[in-house]
Structure 1
Amino acid sequence: MRLSGLPAGGGRLAAAALVQSLGIGLFMASSMAFFTRQVGLSANQVGAGLAGAGAVALAVSLYGGELADRYGARRVLAELYAARAVCCVVYAFVTSFWQFLAVTLFAVCVDRAAPPVLQALVAGSVPDQRDRTRVLAVVNVVRNVGLGAGAMAAGAALVSDTLLAYQLTLSAIGLAFLGGAALVLRVTEAERPAVRAKPAWALPDRGYLALTGLNFLLMFFDTLLLVAMPVWVLEHTNAPRITVSVLFTLNTALVVVLQIPVSRFADGLRRTSRLMAGAGAVLAVAGLCFAAAGGAGGWVAVGWLGAAVVALSLGEVMANSAGWELSIALAPAEVRGRYLAVFNLGLSAERVLGPIVVTGLLLSAGTAGWIGAAAVFLLAGVTGERVALGTGTREAAEPVEA
């Protein structure tokens, strides 16, 4: 992956994302085996701990943006990465469920606080809008590459299956986060505007909140891929079981290939708003293709599923690019971290609510569920375009008070 075409700060942020995503990939692939085989926890205990920590982190993560506004996104992001490193070291000495729960609660809160702080740092260190969106696209791509590489590297610990091997792996993960923190500290951040005299709990304006909610709906592409697609293929189509693995691989490859080129269309408020509408339309096509696969046989079903994942992947990179740019462009500079934290709260909420909605509503309704999802995507994209343009017009007409 060439990073030389990025501005200096963007290249360092992309490198930091690659390093720390290697650590996350290592952790994701090896942690369950460590907690169940070495610590002695049950799979249900691990799942309950992660779910509980994720629910608490929904509210706590808002404070990451507040801290970024007050102390600078570079400092806060480096401290968040360093905190993750400490969590990895402490994990190596966990011996009970309650110890696991305490460390996990802290680790998940730190993890969920980081994305809006990263966006705020990109906005504050990369002044050109086109470069800014491209940096976030590159970060997303290298993160996916790093996750895959880290997961492969975890094979050594899984094969050895000894306490020492897992402890060494956790130490390597901690070093990866420290490396990310060191790279972040080398980024030059612009001077922060003075924070307005506004209480920390104050919400963004109504237009920004509406855009957050509509983006929340578009982000359901993630749950459709991870939850709905495998269940639909295995239980509602005649496609071979190996199709699930092929479709996941296809999605990963398409996101890596398409994310950076598509990000170039997020150029200015009008084009970026249209990109959001386009994302909704393409995701709607994906929903209709999934619906068609349910009534098809054999290889015809495979064809419809392949078309669905191609459309889903394209909608994913379009929605990502539009969401990154609009969330930054429509946030007042002096409270940007706070606004971005609220916007990213929608993403975190989708991770919690998505599986419940998809399994309880979409899959239980069968083909009609996919058609309903297509309608929701289309409506969210079109409405999002109008809300973004309306909010941007108001921001331009009403300058923010110093």
Structure 2
Amino acid sequence: MLWVAFVDRTGSGLWAAVSVLYFTYVAGLSVAQVGTLVALAGAVGIAGAPVGGRIADRFPLTRVLIVFQVLRALASAALLTTDNYALLLVYSAVGSFGDRSANVLTKLYAARVAGPDRVRYQAVSRTLANAGWAVGGLAAAAALALATTAAYQWLLAGDALSFVGAALVTARCTEPPSPSRTVATSKEPAPAERPGSPWKDRTYLAYVATESVLFMDDAVFKVGIPLWAVSATDAPHGLVPLLMVLNNVMVVGLQVPLARFGATTKAAHRLLLPLAAVFAAAGVAMAASAVHGAVPASICLTVSAAAFTLAEMIHATVSWELSIALAPDQAQGAYLGVHGLAQSAQRSAGPLAVTAAIATGPVGWTAFGAVIAVTCCVQHRLVRDRLPRPALSVPPVTVSEH
């Protein structure tokens, strides 16, 4: 299953780099139409996380994941068949729904198959995913040099084929044990245990709300750093792609080693306080990059990008552990599905937050880092009373990685 992340993200790297260009130059959509299409597809995708998680509590996880991977492949391939705006919107929405569902299901698989080692498993998975994204991005850059319609179409076809490949690899993986579908072995039937609902769990919902703030580091790299660097600093514009490379290299090289600091629920909980300090420092460094001079501005931007990347990796480790540890064993899929809403919410609110920070200048970036730091402290206090709950006790099983 670990290689599923690499295959999947290689295809996503191909498509993410050219999606807007494809809709503009191949499908012939206007800028407004492209923006609306992306926004509406993303809105539909929000439902994918809770729906996928709920289904996985009732049916074999690998089969459900295969279905969603095939759905993503069909949606991507369907984009090649038309330039009709309504159909492009439908196909994009279906693909977005499948993407958010698959994301939650792969995380749930890690929790079930790795047991106590789930944090390290997720770290390895994320490392491979970032490597795949880089490979796909490089291939897309090479293809874009041709600047032909056929090049765009082949990249989209490659994205669809990557989902087919991910489905084939998933089909060879062992089905992990599921607490929500445990069959009683005694002759006398055991009373049915009704899974808890995350929608009635106020503590978990509050935890998810804080997570939507902590995930905003994603918007920093997608929107914040590029816009801030070119509009408010003296740093050379060529530094921006290098900072994106720095982010990717740090994640690939350090995510697994850092995961050992959050390998248990209590350890992950303790990381929230140093995480607060890192977020605050990242915001201050970003604010300091407004200093005059290309060299000092570049140094401050690099320090800020490194700090936000470190925060991203620490938060990923904490989030993997707490999102599972706070969920009842019988409803892990449903809870993880609701947790997936945090990333979906960030995709909408994150860009608005970073553009507000840019508009208010250095003070805005200092406040941005401070707000996330305070949220870390709030989450630290919020989940403290739930920590005595035992974590998932499913023993690891051997997984086919072919």
**TM-score greater than 0.5 by the shorter chain:** yes
Paired amino acid for 1:375 = A
Evaluate the alpha carbon distance shift between residue 301 and residue 165 of structure 1 in structure 2; reply closer, same or farther with a 3 A threshold. closer
How far, CA to CA, are the matches of 2:142 and 2:302 in structure 1?
A: 33
User: Does the aligned pair in 1 maintain the 2:49–2:103 contact within 8 Å?
Assistant: no
- Alignment-derived partner of residue 306 in structure 2: 310
Q: 2:386 aligns with which of 385, 391, 399?
A: 391
Unaligned runs of 5+ in 1: 1-12, 398-402
Deviation at 1:47, TM superposition (A): 2.1
Map 1:167-316; keep pairs closer than 5 Å: 167-194=153-180, 196-197=193-194, 203=199, 205-316=201-312
User: Does the aligned pair in 2 maintain the 1:218–1:319 contact within 8 Å?
Assistant: yes
Q: 1:74 aligns with which of 55, 59, 62?
A: 62
- Alignment-derived partner of residue 144 in structure 1: 130
1:239-285 deviations in whole A, cap 9, x for unaligned?
22222222222222112111111111112121111122222211111
- Alignment-derived partner of residue 6 in structure 1: none
- Alignment-derived partner of residue 4 in structure 2: 16
Map 1:297-376; keep pairs closer than 5 Å: 297-360=293-356, 362-376=357-371
Q: Percent identity?
A: 34
How far, CA to CA, are the matches of 2:293 and 2:135 in structure 1?
A: 36
- Alignment-derived partner of residue 184 in structure 2: none
How far, CA to CA, are the matches of 1:364 and 1:170 in structure 2?
A: 36
User: Does the aligned pair in 1 maintain the 2:6–2:131 contact within 8 Å?
Assistant: yes
How far, CA to CA, are the matches of 2:284 and 2:145 in structure 1?
A: 42
1:161-200 deviations in whole A, cap 9, x for unaligned?
555544444333222111111212222233323474358x
How far, CA to CA, are the matches of 2:241 and 2:23 in structure 1?
A: 26
User: Does the aligned pair in 2 maintain the 1:278–1:318 contact within 8 Å?
Assistant: no
How far, CA to CA, are the matches of 2:245 and 2:150 in structure 1?
A: 32
Secondary structure at the aligned position of 1:294 is classed as: coil
- Alignment-derived partner of residue 377 in structure 2: 382
Map 1:120-159; keep pairs closer than 5 Å: 120-127=108-115, 129-130=116-117, 132-155=118-141, 157-159=143-145
Map 1:87-102; keep pairs closer than 5 Å: 87-102=75-90
User: Does the aligned pair in 2 maintain the 1:120–1:340 contact within 8 Å?
Assistant: yes
Evaluate the alpha carbon distance shift between residue 283 and residue 166 of structure 1 in structure 2; reply closer, same or farther with a 3 A threshold. same
Deviation at 1:135, TM superposition (A): 1.6
Secondary structure at the aligned position of 2:235 is classed as: coil
How far, CA to CA, are the matches of 2:359 and 2:159 in structure 1?
A: 40
How far, CA to CA, are the matches of 1:107 and 1:373 in structure 2?
A: 32
Paired amino acid for 1:203 = W
Map 1:55-74; keep pairs closer than 5 Å: 55-74=43-62
Unaligned runs of 5+ in 2: 182-192, 392-402
User: Does the aligned pair in 2 maintain the 1:41–1:96 contact within 8 Å?
Assistant: no
User: Does the aligned pair in 2 maintain the 1:33–1:158 contact within 8 Å?
Assistant: no
How far, CA to CA, are the matches of 2:157 and 2:304 in structure 1?
A: 40
Deviates most, 166-175 or 114-123? 166-175
How far, CA to CA, are the matches of 1:55 and 1:364 in structure 2?
A: 26
Q: Where does structure 1 differ by over 6 angstroms across 4 or more consecutive aligned residues?
A: none
How far, CA to CA, are the matches of 2:270 and 2:224 in structure 1?
A: 27
Deviates most, 162-171 or 368-377? 162-171
Deviation at 1:206, TM superposition (A): 2.1
User: Does the aligned pair in 2 maintain the 1:278–1:381 contact within 8 Å?
Assistant: no
Deviates most, 217-226 or 339-348? 217-226
Paired amino acid for 2:367 = G
User: Does the aligned pair in 2 maintain the 1:27–1:173 contact within 8 Å?
Assistant: yes
- Alignment-derived partner of residue 7 in structure 1: none
How far, CA to CA, are the matches of 1:161 and 1:82 in structure 2?
A: 29
Evaluate the alpha carbon distance shift between residue 271 and residue 57 of structure 1 in structure 2; reply closer, same or farther with a 3 A threshold. same
Paired amino acid for 2:268 = T
RMSD: 2.1
How far, CA to CA, are the matches of 2:150 and 2:369 in structure 1?
A: 49
1:297-333 deviations in whole A, cap 9, x for unaligned?
3312222222111111111100011101111122111
User: Does the aligned pair in 1 maintain the 2:325–2:390 contact within 8 Å?
Assistant: no
- Alignment-derived partner of residue 115 in structure 1: 103
User: Does the aligned pair in 2 maintain the 1:144–1:256 contact within 8 Å?
Assistant: yes
Deviates most, 28-37 or 159-168? 159-168
Residues paired across the two proteins, number:
380
User: Does the aligned pair in 1 maintain the 2:198–2:338 contact within 8 Å?
Assistant: no
